[in-house]
Amino acid sequence: MILKDKTEWRTAALIAICYILWAALVFGLAAYAPILAAILTIPVITLHSSLQHECLHGHPFRHVWANDAIVLPPIGLYIPYLRFKDVHLEHHQNARICDPYDDPESWYLEQDFWQRLPRWVKLVFEANNTLIGRMLLGPTIALIRLVISDGRAIVGGDRRVALAWAVHAILVPPVLLAIYLWSAIPLPVYLACAYMGLSLLMVRTYLEHQAEETLRGRSVIIEDRGPFSLLFLNNNLHAVHHAYPAVAWHQLPSLYRRNRARFLAMNKGYFFKSYGEIFRRFAFHRKEPVVYPIETGQRH
């Protein structure tokens, strides 16, 4: 496996560190302090998901198969990496970011679908549009939607989707068996840790896009330089990532600093200073309507 360029050692090293930390916590520290080990495992699972995102964008190796293979182990359990990869690349290739009709990663709902929902389901989606609600409910909603969509695709004969789930089904049992045999963390607790790893990831995805008439104004910039920035591999600078998706995570901050005014003008000032500000504003208040607010007729 050959690095894409000489700066990619950072990504390769971080992937190695991530796996070492995971193993040390799950099979080492857990023997002495299982609760502490379980808690610390949560952000490591989130970091692994962020590294999967980095690899699907072509880092750190020159060969696609190598980038896929290095993050294929499903320590986060729930989302097949190969499906995450395909869905996310489709999201990037789509000009209509956040439009529920076109963007597979959109959290908005279509008006006609919304009108058919029972009242209690609408309340669930309303709660999901707050940050705390997204952290609690978002992983379940995302997984249910993926399973339904992929199930239909498989029934319809989509072999690529079927293969992705088959690979995932083969890889998950060894992870669970290893935890059952050699870790002091009970399996139900690890399942909860994996879920909470996705919950942390929902902090990033919560408002990284907004429904805005101008397409360039749909991706956020969050100037956070704290733990969340590292955990999300600088993807808080999301407008920068969408403008330059092939740029590695460690290069995004300097690229943003050199062109800050241009990026803020480009994304129409969709900007937050920190994740602390986002928690204060949206922990229990929804950021936008659940229903996609742009008229359907304006999609094309």
* CA 122/CA 202 separation, integer angstroms: 20
Structure tokens that stand for 268 in this block: 């129409």
Q: What is the pLDDT of residue 99?
A: 86
> Among residues 45, 85, 47, which one has the least CA distance to residue 191?
45
pLDDT class of 288 with cuts at 50, 70, 90: confident
Structure tokens that stand for 1 in this block: 């496996």
* CA 268/CA 227 separation, integer angstroms: 26
Cβ neighbours of residue 285 closer than 8 Å, sequence gap 6 or more? 130
| Predicted confidence (pLDDT) at residue 297 exceeds the cutoff of 80 | no
pLDDT class of 92 with cuts at 50, 70, 90: confident
pLDDT class of 94 with cuts at 50, 70, 90: low
Tens-place pLDDT, residues 144-173: 999 999 999 999 999 999 999 999 999 999
DSSP letters, 164-195, are HHHHHHHHHHHHHHHHHHH-SS-HHHHHHHHH
Beta-bridge partners for 209: 219
| Predicted confidence (pLDDT) at residue 300 exceeds the cutoff of 70 | no
Structure tokens that stand for 225 in this block: 């330089």
Do you find a cis peptide bond into 100, omega within 30 degrees of 0?
no
pLDDT class of 117 with cuts at 50, 70, 90: very high
Domain boundaries, the chain: 6-298
pLDDT mean over 51-63: 96
pLDDT class of 2 with cuts at 50, 70, 90: confident
Tens-place pLDDT, residues 200-215: 999 999 999 998 888 8
DSSP letters, 250-296, are GGHHHHHHHTHHHHHHHTTT-EES-HHHHHHHHSSS-SS-SB--S-G
Interhelix angle 81-93/159-182, rounded to 10 degrees, is: 140
pLDDT class of 1 with cuts at 50, 70, 90: confident
Cβ neighbours of residue 195 closer than 8 Å, sequence gap 6 or more? 78, 139
Q: What is the pLDDT of residue 299?
A: 45
pLDDT class of 296 with cuts at 50, 70, 90: low
pLDDT mean over 6-27: 96
| Predicted confidence (pLDDT) at residue 101 exceeds the cutoff of 90 | no
* CA 264/CA 232 separation, integer angstroms: 20
Tens-place pLDDT, residues 19-29: 999 999 999 99
> Among residues 243, 233, 257, 292, which one has the least CA distance to residue 98?
292
Collect contacts of 83-90 with beta carbons under 8 A, ≥24 apart: 83/146, 83/150, 83/161, 83/164, 83/165, 83/168, 84/52, 84/53, 84/56, 85/52, 85/56, 86/160, 86/161, 86/164, 87/146, 88/53, 88/56, 89/56
Q: What is the pLDDT of residue 55?
A: 97
Angle at 229 between CA 237 and CA 133, to 5 degrees: 90
Cβ neighbours of residue 99 closer than 8 Å, sequence gap 6 or more? 106, 108, 211, 292, 294, 299
Asked if 284 contacts 132 with a C-beta cutoff of 8 angstroms, the reply is yes
Three-state DSSP at 237 gives coil
